[in-house]
Amino acid sequence: MNICYNAVDRHVENGRGDHPGLCYDSAYTGVQKSFTYKELQTNVSKLAGILKTKFSIAAGDRVLIYMPMVPSAAFAMLACARIGAIHSVVFGGFAAKELANRIADCKPKLLITCSVGLEPNKVIKYCPIVDEALNLCTMEGAKDLPRLVVQRTEKEEYKDVEAGAKPVYHDYQTLMDDASIEPAGCVSLPSTHPLYILYTSGTTGQPKGICRDAGGTSVGLDFCMKNVFGVDKDSVHFASSDIGWVVGHSFIVYGPLIRGCTSIFFEGKPVTPDAGVCWRVCEQYKVTSLYMAPTGVRVIKKEDYDGELVKKYDVSSVKTFCVVGERCDPDTIHWIHKHFPNVLINDTWW
């Protein structure tokens, strides 16, 4: 089997290529872009071809992804899965030392990164962090590790390293535009083939790399999306997390796409530009299932206790409000119930 086939190609072959698969929405830049399943297939297969042709990535090789919430990050995860490479996503908020530890442990053959990550009123240049991490890293040959860099184009100051500035840096868009590189198909793999390595936070010593396989992940997520969250192929699922955490892997990328629904790929914070941003997303995309951490809801509740910003938007499409990450306290449950009286509140506790 191949998880990328089940998440992308299968839907195209079944006549759903024009159905929106991923909707990117950045609260920082205002950029919004929707990708159909066919467009996902085009981007992912081309990137998979780049990994094979340009960087000689094959099944079993590791690829480290250190990126913000931009569409190419999801493409990179799926492209790795397409050819059997094992991806390890490192949260874009981690500093050089944390990145170095994870590189040393998983020993990637390629590092995929972005020119910048964004925080409220802050631009974080990634390439200097990557350079510092590889200088600190104990992995043999770390300083020469190839780096594929996605240049953000929304503003001039979002650019970081120009293509060809260093031999180890390769420009993502230049290679995506290279017509000589053929798109790659899905590789047939055992269901037990490793899909990804994801590291624990490291609060009790060295971070531990958790490895999940493709078959168990596919079956578990398809079951969970349907039976726990009530998601079907016509649903719109919004998990306000990040691919640096398991929620992002499971409920932004693989779970919704395997299910064949539409997934919101959101770059932002729950109160940027204000505490109504999540409700704006729900109205705009007609979100049917919402997935948030109690911490995120509490931040919104603190800013908008009376729910004035909830009333500003039409959130009637939301049928399920899932809270995840830690036990949800009763006050937060009551706040959700007051302002979303007709939804199923699903406290999964994790």
pLDDT one-digit tens code per residue, 145-182? 999 999 998 888 898 887 677 889 999 999 999 999 99
Q: Which domain CATH number covers 190?
A: 3.40.50.12780
Same domain, residue pair 134 and 196: yes
Rounded to the nearest integer, the mean pLDDT of the chain is: 95
Full strand arrangement of the beta sheet holding 147-150: 169-171, 147-150, 110-114, 62-67, 86-91, 194-199, 209-213
Alpha-carbon distance of 240 to 21, in angstroms, equals 16
3-state secondary structure of 26: strand
| Over residues 292-309, mean pLDDT | 96
Same domain, residue pair 182 and 248: no
Cβ(84)–Cβ(49) below 8 Å: no
**Residue that is written with structure tokens 């931009």 in the block:** 70
Same domain, residue pair 203 and 242: no
Domains identified in the chain, total number: 2
pLDDT(350) > 70 = no
Same domain, residue pair 207 and 219: no
Full strand arrangement of the beta sheet holding 289-292: 32-36, 20-26, 262-267, 236-239, 289-292, 320-323, 344-347
Question: Would you say residue 169 lies in a domain?
Answer: yes
Q: pTM for this one?
A: 0.96
Residue 164 burial by CB count (10 A; 0-12/13-18/19+): exposed, middle or buried?
exposed
Structural domain of 117: 38-213
Domain's final residue, options 213, 246, 278: 213
Tens-digit pLDDT profile for residues 242-285: 999 999 999 999 999 999 999 999 999 999 999 999 999 999 99
Same domain, residue pair 178 and 65: yes
Same domain, residue pair 269 and 173: no
Q: Which domain CATH number covers 328?
A: 3.40.50.980
Same domain, residue pair 70 and 175: yes
Domain's final residue, options 213, 236, 270: 213
